[in-house]
Structure 1
Amino acid sequence: MRDKFMSAAEAVALVEDGATVSITGGGGGLCEAMLLQEEIEKRFLETGHPRRLTLVHALGIGNRQGTGVGRFAHPGMVRKVIGGHWVWSPKMQEMAAKNEIEAHVLPGGVAMQLMREIAAGRPGLITHVGLGTFIDPRIDGGRMNEAARDPLCEVIEIDGREYLRYLPFPIHACLLKGSIADDEGNISLDEEPANVDTYAIAAAVHNSGGKVIFQVRQRVEAGELGARQVRIPGAIVDAIVVDPDQAQGYEIGYDPSISGQARVPLEPPHDPGFNPRRIIANRARLELREGAIVNFGYGIPDEIATILAARGESHLYYQTIEHGTYGGQLLTGTLFGYARNASCMIDGPSQFDFYAGGGLDIAFLGFGQIDALGNVNASRLGGLPVGPGGFIDIAQNARKVVFVGTFDAKGADIASGDGRLMIRQHGAVKKFVARVDQITFSGQQALRQGQEVLYVTERAVFRLTERGLALIETAPGTHLEQDILSQMAFAPQIETPTAMPEGCFMA
């Protein structure tokens, strides 16, 4: 059996011009093959190869400073990107906005599950996820710029019900990260903060006839890894690079409580103090019920998790992360996706199976824009592709969805902390618009599916109804016409709004 271990330069040289390359990660450096990505960028800058790549990734990868997807953001290096989330690479966002690449988006869960379908040789992924959103080919088909032409999915009908069939395509190479490899090429993920779609990608690449390339922290003798430790069998691995300096993330070297290898006493999360985010999170938290299976999105939603942890209430709910993690204490900000003292880690595609089947009781997600029909835009902001990550898979399938965000943006000045809210200056950017720039969540699709949907801001709460968005609560101290209705581009339904609980506004 040939030796699969080699230098990083030798490994990335296996990636040919024009190849479709898949990478994985989840923000903050989580499961990111940093060395391999750095080396392939170096090779391109020195030799001009590999060039005209198609890059595929499900979630956000990078740090906004050139890592992750940013390693590929060079003219000529990529011609096409199919990315679930773009915000961690401003340079790639800019290239997409300028039509220098073909920019496409797939929902994060769909992208992960599609890898599994490609590996199995099946005719693509058939699912309801994406119907009615900008992914639907009757709307934008997941195209994020004019340069993007190729179809990613089509509408089909089975037993009188519509579905999307996401089209399969071969994957020629992947750059992946493991923890430990034995002499036979078997790979363990023991030290990683999540499993994400690592196995699904490796299987898809191998069965496409491509090159499966891994980096790991350590090499051990054959037999040292137990069978249950091995997540990727050596049979499907082509190249392995050992990086003894490999870390769990940009800000974390190695912490066994993050990889699930040990449990540690948890410190109370950092309290940033009372602010508009806290008001929103306080109100959203009231929608929880004990025993609920929940998901907290990035941004203001993770403030809810922080409040629960600070109050010692996290154990009352089953917390999930789309990366495949259950339980524990969520890390926030740039470390979103990590959890300390997690209770379970499964593969990302399996987690999204659970979500797609309606397993989530409630999801808390952010928003950029909302319109009269209850549509939400969270994927295209300021003219730049942001991408939904797992947003569509989660929002479209949770039994109850609570969108959380500030009422407006850019320059808003409010005062609170005493049980009331004072608006001293409105924000320059309205979020309640006549028509969202992109439909990341479809209000009409949600009504068809019977979902319960709320929209929580610091000054008002809305509910999705058959007649559109309905105003149901206002913040104590606000003026209905001056502070809310006049700041919206449409007139919501008004159902005799009650006051939001004063406790939400107490410091």
Structure 2
Amino acid sequence: MTKIISARQAAGLLRDGMTVGVSGFGAFASPDSILEAIREKFREENSPRDLTIVSGVAPGDFVEDGCGLSKIRDEGIISTLIASHLRMSPAIGRACSENKIAAFSMPLGVYGQLMAAIGGKRPGILTHVGLNTYADPRQDGCKMNDLAKAQDREIVELVRLDGRDYLFYKAFPIDVCILHASYADADGNISLQDEPVHGDLLELALAVHNNGGTVIVEVKDILEPCSLDPRHVLIPKFSVDYIVKAQGENNIALAYHPEMTGDLRAMADSVKPLPFSYKKVIARRAAMELKKGDLVNLGIGIPASVANVANEEGLSRDVTLSLETGVYGGVPLDGPLFGAAVNPDSISRSADAFTVYDGGGLNMTVLGCAEIDMAGNVNVSKFSGRCVGPGGFVNISQNTPKVCFAFAFTAGKCDIAVEGGKLVIRNDGKAGKFIKACDHISFSSQFAQETNQTVLFITERAVFELRDRKLILTEIAPGIDMEKDVLRLMGFRPEISPELKLMDERLFRPGKMGLSFGE
């Protein structure tokens, strides 16, 4: 029978060295009250310590003292982190990068499906996702730093079946999980009624419960038995051991947003257009690749801004934009609310979304990138000394027929304006993103060639296509000196298309572009 306990009592259930599952997708579903109680208990008693934390996009909001794993950033609490994205909590990301926490990172779609496999007591999952990338044991085997490599832990192995290579991600035991949801009744049924993101809560709960572990759920309120709408109950009472009423939440993602849950329909113009800038130029150029009726995934950052452009141009109703959280339709959001959308068509679980994605259900994706090499390999998961992890990037980029990477041409502080229909570079970023060879591969151009993917690299000043594992420069921005502003800043020399043309002049003018699917 489910028991109601305090956050401090929940923290008392954790023992040193345990493996603990923690819900969250960025700021969403972060069990902040229990995490705070864990931190306070550690500071008073030096326990629990040396925990292995298992999560998808490990909770955080990019704020130093923010939500999620930032609550348990004290050195000694976490010894190992297994997550798809490691850096939503800046302090935890640094600890992984500085080799203070052993860091493993598997693709997000693999994580959700692996939790389901653990819940079903299967030995793991067999998939093509991650082949020829850092996840492949022939490269790093999901190990993100030296501490991870020093552990006697292999979470993935290469398997040959019917003449083809696959990766086998292995099941492992999880002692406890800590989840956040909207409501519980006193019997322990868990409702996600107010949640714009459903994530992998059910998969994680069953992975723990079905293997004899302890399931703890933090909720906004606890209600009378049988008082919840059964249509919103995701986790049934038999799989919940303890419930905790959250205290003093200040996480914007845990607040009620009716326009994100479908309880209210916001006006389209309630989503304000992006300010006119070089970043908007990138998002606009990516939006030009949308086709009527397409199912499209958008990544975080500049790619998420494609949703804003599509809304401004009146295209949103004729294309379905989606997120790996399981949200379809509407206008996907960015920043700490990335993962949700205003006016979504539907909200499903993340693991279900990756069944669609892995099965080739997407027509196109727009993703970011940190490094691109001369063969067209892309790195988003470990660069500039930072362990980041790919999130859903690997699943999405490997299984989508058309991949558009949308990103700024250089990294670092810059002063780039859009004036008079031209790009004006006053002060460029110091770090180049186009390098000779990627040491860490998140997207394999070899895999892309074998699966006949169409791949574009879209920046504010140039557009490239990937052909036969070579980058071809196909478009350049007005006002740009090709040699000085593009080629000189690359670690290799791309081929120049004989049909090289200027990027569409409408990209560089304020006001609507007048995009339509008739173009």
Given that residues 60 and 389 in structure 1 are in contact (C-alpha distance below 8 angstroms), is that contact kept between their aligned partners in structure 2?
no
1:88 positional shift: 1.8
Match for residue 164 of structure 2?
Answer: 161
Shift of the 190–245 alpha-carbon distance from structure 1 to 2, 3 Å rule, reads: farther
1:252 Cα deviation after fit:
6.0
Distance 1:268 1:262 in 2: 12
Q: Match of 1:374?
A: 376
Kindly report which structure 2 residues correspond to 1:220-231, keeping only aligned pairs within 5 A, or say none. 220-231=223-234
Partner of 1:171: 174
C-alpha distance in structure 1 between counterparts of 2:105 and 2:247, whole Å: 34
Check conservation: 1:217, 1:245, Cα contact below 8 A.
no
Q: Say whether residues 1:353 and 2:351 are aligned partners.
A: no
Structure 2: where are the runs of 5+ without partners?
A: 511-519
Q: Aligned letter for 1:382?
A: S
What per-residue deviation string (whole Å, max 9, x for no partner) do you get for residues 317-364 of structure 1? 111111111112222222111212211111111111111111111110
Which SS does the other structure have where 1:396 is aligned?
helix
In structure 2, give the amino acid aligned to 1:40.
I
* 2:90 alignment partner in structure 1: 90
The 8 Å contact of residues 32 and 71 in structure 2, kept in 1 or not, is answered as: no
**SS in structure 1 opposite 2:116?**
helix
What is the aligned partner in structure 2 of residue 32 from structure 1? Answer: 30
When structure 1 is superposed on structure 2, of 113-122 and 495-504 the one drifting more is 495-504
Match of 2:56 in 1: 58
Q: Which moved more, 1:184-193 or 1:63-72?
A: 63-72
Distance in 2, Cα, partners of 1:416 & 1:320: 30
**In structure 2, what is the Cα distance between the partners aligned to 1:240 and 1:251?**
20
- Contact 2:2–2:240 (Cα < 8 Å) also in 1: no
Q: How does 1:187-206 map to 2 (within 5 A)?
A: 187-206=190-209
* TM-score normalised by L of structure 2: 0.93
Match for 1:187: what amino acid? I
In structure 1, the partner of 2:389 is 387
Q: What percentage of residue pairs aligned between the two structures are identical? A: 40
Instruction: Report which stretch shifted further, 68-77 or 229-238.
Output: 68-77
3-state SS of paired residue (1:130)? coil
CA RMSD of aligned residues (A): 1.7
**Who is 2:143 aligned against?**
143
1:3 offset after TM fit, Å? Answer: 4.9
Whether contact under 8 Å (1:54, 1:82) holds in the other structure is yes
**In structure 2, what is the Cα distance between the partners aligned to 1:260 and 1:59?**
24
**Residue 356 (structure 2) pairs with residue 324 (structure 1):** no
| Distance in 1, Cα, partners of 2:234 & 2:245 | 17
Matched, 1:16 2:18: no
How far is the alpha carbon of 1:98 from its aligned partner? 2.6
For structure 1, which segment, 6-15 or 257-266, has the greater mean C-alpha deviation from structure 2 after superposition? 257-266
Q: Aligned pairs, how many?
A: 504
Partner Cα separation in structure 1 for residue 398 and residue 328 of structure 2: 20
TM-score, normalised to structure 1's length?
Answer: 0.95
Letter in 2 for 1:154: E
Moved more, 441-450 or 480-489: 480-489
Checking the alignment, whether the CA contact within 8 Å between 1:268 and 1:310 is kept in structure 2 is no
Q: Residue 245 and residue 191 in structure 1: after superposition, are their counterparts in 2 closer, same or farther (change >3 A)?
A: farther
Deviates more, 1:344-353 or 1:251-260: 251-260
Task: Tell me how far apart the structure 2 counterparts of residues 165 and 252 of structure 1 sit (CA, whole Å).
Answer: 35
The CA distance in 2 between the partners of 1:377 and 1:350, in whole Å, is: 26
C-alpha spacing 1:217/1:251, structure 2 compared with 1 (3 Å)? closer
- Residues 268 and 309 of structure 1 are in contact (CA less than 8 Å); yes or no, is this contact kept in structure 2? no
Deviations 1:153-176 (A, max 9, x none): 011122211110001100111110
Alignment check: 8 A CA contact 2:321 2:331 kept: no
Residues 423-434 of structure 1: pairs in structure 2 closer than 5 A: 423-434=425-436
**In 2: Cα distance, 1:386 partner to 1:318 partner:** 28
Post-superposition Cα deviations, 1:187-233, rounded to whole Å, max 9, x if no partner, equal: 11111111100000000001221100001122222222243332111
DSSP-derived class of the 2:144 partner: coil
CA–CA separation in structure 1 for the residues paired with 2:54 and 2:478: 47
CA deviations on 1:357-391 (whole Å, 9 max, x unpaired) are 11111110111111111111111232011111111
The residue type equivalent to 2:20 in the other structure is V
Structure 2 contact 57–85 (Cα < 8 Å) conserved: yes
CA distance in 1, matches of 2:462, 2:331: 29
C-alpha offsets along residues 131-187 of structure 1, whole Å, 9 cap, x if unaligned?
111111111111111111322101112221111000110011111012121222111
Distance in 1 of aligned mates of 2:186 and 2:409 = 56
Aligned letter for 1:20? T
Matches within 5 A, 1:447-458: 447-458=449-460
Asked if the contact 1:372/1:468 (under 8 Å) is kept, the reply is yes
Letter in 2 for 1:125: I
Cα deviation code 1:95-126 (max 9, x no counterpart): 22332221111111111111001111111111
Q: Which residue of 2 aligns with 1:263?
A: 265
Q: Which residue of structure 2 aligns with residue 43 of structure 1? A: 41
Q: Secondary structure at the match of 1:257?
A: helix
Contact 1:190–1:261 (Cα < 8 Å) also in 2: no
Output aligned runs, 1:269-348, within 5 Å. Answer: 269-348=271-350
Structure 2 Cα separation of the partners of residues 180 and 115 of structure 1? 23
Mapping of 1:69-84 within 5 angstroms? 69-84=69-84
Amino acid at match of 2:143: R
